Chains A and B, each alone.
Chain A
Amino acid sequence: MLVLTRRANQSIRIGQSVEVRVVRIEGDRVVLGIAAPRQIAVVRSELVAEVTGELRDAADTRARLRVMLTPRHPAGEPRPEPSPEDPGVA
Protein backbone atom coordinates (compact mmCIF):
# COMPACT_ATOMS: atom_id res chain seq x y z
CA MET A 1 0.00 0.00 0.00
CA LEU A 2 1.27 3.43 -0.91
CA VAL A 3 1.32 5.70 2.16
CA LEU A 4 1.42 9.49 1.71
CA THR A 5 1.39 12.33 4.22
CA ARG A 6 -0.90 15.27 3.46
CA ARG A 7 -1.94 18.37 5.37
CA ALA A 8 -5.28 20.16 5.33
CA ASN A 9 -6.11 21.57 1.89
CA GLN A 10 -3.54 19.35 0.22
CA SER A 11 -4.66 16.68 -2.19
CA ILE A 12 -3.62 13.66 -4.16
CA ARG A 13 -4.65 12.59 -7.64
CA ILE A 14 -5.52 9.05 -8.62
CA GLY A 15 -5.14 8.57 -12.34
CA GLN A 16 -6.27 11.38 -14.61
CA SER A 17 -9.73 11.88 -13.21
CA VAL A 18 -9.84 11.42 -9.44
CA GLU A 19 -8.73 13.97 -6.84
CA VAL A 20 -8.87 13.41 -3.09
CA ARG A 21 -8.44 16.52 -0.93
CA VAL A 22 -8.01 16.78 2.84
CA VAL A 23 -10.68 19.35 3.63
CA ARG A 24 -9.99 19.55 7.36
CA ILE A 25 -8.77 17.53 10.31
CA GLU A 26 -10.93 17.37 13.45
CA GLY A 27 -9.27 15.43 16.24
CA ASP A 28 -9.11 11.82 15.07
CA ARG A 29 -11.39 12.50 12.08
CA VAL A 30 -10.22 13.50 8.65
CA VAL A 31 -12.76 15.14 6.33
CA LEU A 32 -12.03 14.30 2.70
CA GLY A 33 -13.35 15.83 -0.48
CA ILE A 34 -13.37 13.57 -3.51
CA ALA A 35 -13.79 14.67 -7.10
CA ALA A 36 -14.36 11.78 -9.49
CA PRO A 37 -16.36 11.01 -12.60
CA ARG A 38 -19.86 10.03 -11.56
CA GLN A 39 -19.53 6.54 -12.99
CA ILE A 40 -16.83 5.83 -10.40
CA ALA A 41 -18.43 4.69 -7.16
CA VAL A 42 -17.06 6.44 -4.10
CA VAL A 43 -18.29 4.73 -0.96
CA ARG A 44 -17.12 4.04 2.58
CA SER A 45 -15.50 0.63 2.97
CA GLU A 46 -17.89 -0.09 5.84
CA LEU A 47 -20.84 0.29 3.48
CA VAL A 48 -19.39 -2.28 1.11
CA ALA A 49 -19.10 -4.70 4.04
CA GLU A 50 -22.66 -3.89 5.08
CA VAL A 51 -23.99 -4.59 1.58
CA THR A 52 -22.19 -7.93 1.58
CA GLY A 53 -23.64 -8.71 5.00
CA GLU A 54 -27.10 -7.83 3.76
CA LEU A 55 -26.62 -10.20 0.81
CA ARG A 56 -25.82 -13.00 3.24
CA ASP A 57 -28.83 -12.11 5.40
CA ALA A 58 -31.03 -12.15 2.30
CA ALA A 59 -29.73 -15.59 1.30
CA ASP A 60 -30.19 -16.88 4.86
CA THR A 61 -33.79 -15.63 5.02
CA ARG A 62 -34.81 -16.60 1.48
CA ALA A 63 -36.63 -19.73 2.61
CA ARG A 64 -38.45 -17.80 5.33
CA LEU A 65 -39.41 -15.12 2.84
CA ARG A 66 -40.73 -17.73 0.41
CA VAL A 67 -42.99 -19.11 3.16
CA MET A 68 -44.20 -15.60 3.93
CA LEU A 69 -44.95 -15.15 0.23
CA THR A 70 -46.76 -18.45 -0.26
CA PRO A 71 -50.47 -17.90 -0.90
CA ARG A 72 -52.58 -19.70 1.67
CA HIS A 73 -55.77 -21.74 1.41
CA PRO A 74 -58.82 -20.45 3.25
CA ALA A 75 -57.95 -22.85 6.06
CA GLY A 76 -54.65 -21.02 6.47
CA GLU A 77 -52.48 -23.81 5.14
CA PRO A 78 -49.82 -23.14 2.51
CA ARG A 79 -50.81 -24.23 -0.95
CA PRO A 80 -49.27 -27.59 -1.91
CA GLU A 81 -46.32 -27.59 -4.26
CA PRO A 82 -47.48 -27.86 -7.88
CA SER A 83 -46.82 -31.15 -9.61
CA PRO A 84 -44.60 -31.32 -12.69
CA GLU A 85 -47.76 -32.00 -14.70
CA ASP A 86 -49.18 -28.68 -13.63
CA PRO A 87 -49.48 -26.77 -16.90
CA GLY A 88 -48.76 -23.53 -15.09
CA VAL A 89 -45.24 -24.57 -14.19
CA ALA A 90 -42.51 -24.32 -16.79
Chain B
Amino acid sequence: MSRGGPATWDHKSAIEDEPVSNSVSQAAIVFPEGLVGLPGLTRHRLSAVPESALFELVSDDDPTMGFIAASADSVKPGTTDRLRERGLVKDGEWVLAILAVHGEPPAVTANLAGPLILDMDSATARQLVLEDPEFPLQAPMVEPI
Protein backbone atom coordinates (compact mmCIF):
# COMPACT_ATOMS: atom_id res chain seq x y z
CA MET B 1 0.00 0.00 0.00
CA SER B 2 1.36 3.38 -0.93
CA ARG B 3 1.40 5.91 1.87
CA GLY B 4 1.80 9.53 0.95
CA GLY B 5 2.54 12.24 3.43
CA PRO B 6 4.62 15.27 4.19
CA ALA B 7 8.31 14.67 3.82
CA THR B 8 8.94 16.69 6.96
CA TRP B 9 6.95 14.30 9.13
CA ASP B 10 7.39 10.79 10.23
CA HIS B 11 3.81 10.18 9.08
CA LYS B 12 4.37 6.46 8.77
CA SER B 13 4.77 6.24 12.52
CA ALA B 14 1.62 8.32 12.94
CA ILE B 15 -0.32 5.86 10.84
CA GLU B 16 1.08 3.07 12.95
CA ASP B 17 0.05 4.83 16.17
CA GLU B 18 3.52 5.66 17.37
CA PRO B 19 4.38 9.14 18.59
CA VAL B 20 5.65 11.42 15.90
CA SER B 21 8.73 13.53 16.35
CA ASN B 22 8.54 16.38 18.85
CA SER B 23 10.09 18.60 16.21
CA VAL B 24 6.86 19.95 14.79
CA SER B 25 6.68 21.15 11.22
CA GLN B 26 3.75 22.88 9.64
CA ALA B 27 2.37 22.32 6.18
CA ALA B 28 0.00 24.56 4.26
CA ILE B 29 -2.95 22.59 2.92
CA VAL B 30 -5.57 23.88 0.50
CA PHE B 31 -9.10 22.49 0.42
CA PRO B 32 -10.23 23.87 -2.97
CA GLU B 33 -13.89 23.22 -2.12
CA GLY B 34 -13.56 24.17 1.53
CA LEU B 35 -14.91 21.99 4.32
CA VAL B 36 -18.38 20.46 4.23
CA GLY B 37 -20.88 23.26 4.80
CA LEU B 38 -18.01 25.71 5.22
CA PRO B 39 -16.90 26.43 1.65
CA GLY B 40 -14.98 29.56 2.66
CA LEU B 41 -12.49 27.60 4.72
CA THR B 42 -10.03 26.67 2.01
CA ARG B 43 -6.60 27.50 3.44
CA HIS B 44 -5.35 25.53 6.43
CA ARG B 45 -2.19 24.62 8.27
CA LEU B 46 -1.48 21.10 9.43
CA SER B 47 0.96 20.25 12.18
CA ALA B 48 1.76 17.29 14.36
CA VAL B 49 0.64 17.38 18.00
CA PRO B 50 3.78 16.76 20.08
CA GLU B 51 4.10 13.45 21.88
CA SER B 52 1.11 11.94 20.18
CA ALA B 53 0.04 10.38 16.91
CA LEU B 54 -2.39 13.24 16.37
CA PHE B 55 -2.46 16.26 14.12
CA GLU B 56 -3.88 19.75 14.31
CA LEU B 57 -5.53 21.46 11.36
CA VAL B 58 -6.17 25.18 11.73
CA SER B 59 -7.93 27.36 9.20
CA ASP B 60 -5.98 30.35 7.93
CA ASP B 61 -9.30 31.84 6.82
CA ASP B 62 -10.84 31.59 10.30
CA PRO B 63 -8.33 30.70 13.03
CA THR B 64 -11.19 29.92 15.43
CA MET B 65 -11.89 26.91 13.25
CA GLY B 66 -9.21 24.43 14.23
CA PHE B 67 -9.38 20.72 14.69
CA ILE B 68 -7.50 17.84 16.23
CA ALA B 69 -7.37 14.84 13.94
CA ALA B 70 -6.10 11.28 13.93
CA SER B 71 -5.29 8.84 11.21
CA ALA B 72 -8.62 7.24 10.31
CA ASP B 73 -6.90 3.88 10.29
CA SER B 74 -5.97 4.34 13.94
CA VAL B 75 -9.67 4.82 14.73
CA LYS B 76 -10.97 2.11 12.45
CA PRO B 77 -8.28 -0.10 10.94
CA GLY B 78 -8.64 -0.64 7.24
CA THR B 79 -10.52 2.59 6.57
CA THR B 80 -8.06 3.81 3.94
CA ASP B 81 -8.17 0.51 2.09
CA ARG B 82 -11.98 0.43 2.18
CA LEU B 83 -12.21 3.92 0.76
CA ARG B 84 -9.59 3.13 -1.85
CA GLU B 85 -11.60 0.07 -2.92
CA ARG B 86 -14.57 2.37 -3.45
CA GLY B 87 -12.52 4.72 -5.58
CA LEU B 88 -12.76 7.50 -3.01
CA VAL B 89 -9.07 7.57 -2.08
CA LYS B 90 -6.15 7.37 -4.47
CA ASP B 91 -2.81 5.72 -3.81
CA GLY B 92 -0.61 7.96 -1.73
CA GLU B 93 -3.49 9.90 -0.20
CA TRP B 94 -3.86 10.07 3.51
CA VAL B 95 -7.11 9.81 5.51
CA LEU B 96 -7.68 11.73 8.74
CA ALA B 97 -10.65 11.73 11.11
CA ILE B 98 -11.46 14.87 13.07
CA LEU B 99 -11.83 14.40 16.82
CA ALA B 100 -14.32 16.04 19.16
CA VAL B 101 -15.31 15.79 22.79
CA HIS B 102 -18.88 14.81 23.58
CA GLY B 103 -20.92 13.95 26.65
CA GLU B 104 -20.35 13.89 30.36
CA PRO B 105 -18.10 12.33 31.42
CA PRO B 106 -16.31 13.61 28.35
CA ALA B 107 -15.53 11.09 25.65
CA VAL B 108 -13.43 11.57 22.56
CA THR B 109 -15.09 10.65 19.29
CA ALA B 110 -13.81 10.54 15.73
CA ASN B 111 -15.77 11.72 12.72
CA LEU B 112 -15.53 8.87 10.24
CA ALA B 113 -18.56 10.06 8.27
CA GLY B 114 -16.69 13.17 7.16
CA PRO B 115 -13.06 12.11 6.71
CA LEU B 116 -10.38 14.39 5.36
CA ILE B 117 -8.45 13.11 2.36
CA LEU B 118 -5.01 14.67 2.03
CA ASP B 119 -2.63 14.60 -0.91
CA MET B 120 0.56 15.87 0.62
CA ASP B 121 2.41 15.84 -2.71
CA SER B 122 0.12 18.56 -4.06
CA ALA B 123 -0.70 20.01 -0.60
CA THR B 124 -4.41 19.74 -1.39
CA ALA B 125 -7.22 18.02 0.43
CA ARG B 126 -10.95 17.40 0.38
CA GLN B 127 -13.58 16.31 2.83
CA LEU B 128 -15.88 13.41 2.01
CA VAL B 129 -19.34 12.66 3.34
CA LEU B 130 -19.93 8.94 3.72
CA GLU B 131 -23.48 7.61 3.79
CA ASP B 132 -22.59 4.36 5.50
CA PRO B 133 -23.26 3.17 9.07
CA GLU B 134 -19.81 1.56 8.98
CA PHE B 135 -18.39 5.09 9.18
CA PRO B 136 -20.26 6.88 11.97
CA LEU B 137 -20.23 10.56 12.73
CA GLN B 138 -19.11 9.97 16.30
CA ALA B 139 -17.04 6.81 16.41
CA PRO B 140 -15.74 6.18 19.93
CA MET B 141 -11.98 6.31 20.33
CA VAL B 142 -11.28 2.96 21.93
CA GLU B 143 -7.50 3.24 21.93
CA PRO B 144 -5.81 5.60 24.35
CA ILE B 145 -4.68 8.81 22.73
Among B10-18, B49-57, B72-80, the stretch that binds chain A is B49-57
A47 part of interface (Cβ distance < 8 Å): yes
**Total A-B residue pairs with C-beta atoms closer than 8 Å?**
99
Task: Please name all residues of chain A whose beta carbon is closer than 8 Å to the beta carbon of B131 when the two chains form the complex.
Answer: 41-44, 47
Chain B 126-145: CB-based contact to A (< 8 A → 1; otherwise 0): 01111100000110000001
A51 touches B137 (CB 8 A): yes
Indicate with 1 or 0, residue by residue over A55-67, a CB within 8 angstroms of chain B CB atoms.
1011101101110
B residues less than 8 Å from A51 (CB atoms): 36-37, 111, 113-114, 127, 129, 137
**Is A54 touching B49 in the complex (CB atoms < 8 A)?**
no
Contact, CB under 8 Å: B129 / A55: no
Docked CA distance A43–B88 (Å):
14
Contact check, A68 vs B106: say whether CB atoms are below 8 A apart.
yes
**Are B24 and A90 in contact, with the CB atoms below 8 A?**
yes
Does B122 have its Cβ within 8 Å of any Cβ on chain A? no
Within 8 A of B (CB), among A22-71: 38-39, 41-44, 47-52, 54-55, 57-59, 61-62, 64-66, 68-69, 71
A68→B127 CA distance, assembly (Å): 26
Q: What A residues does B38 contact at CB under 8 A?
A: 52, 55
Q: When the two chains form their complex, are residues A50 and B100 in contact, meaning their CB atoms are under 8 A apart? A: no
B residues in contact with A68, CB < 8 Å: 101, 106, 108
Residues of A with C-beta under 8 A to B6: none
Q: Within 8 Å CB of A44, what residues of B?
A: 131
Q: B102 — which chain A residues lie within 8 A by C-beta?
A: 57, 61
Distance in Å from the Cβ of B13 to the closest Cβ of chain A?
16
Chain A residues close to B by CB (< 8 Å): 38-39, 41-44, 47-52, 54-55, 57-59, 61-62, 64-66, 68-69, 71, 88-90
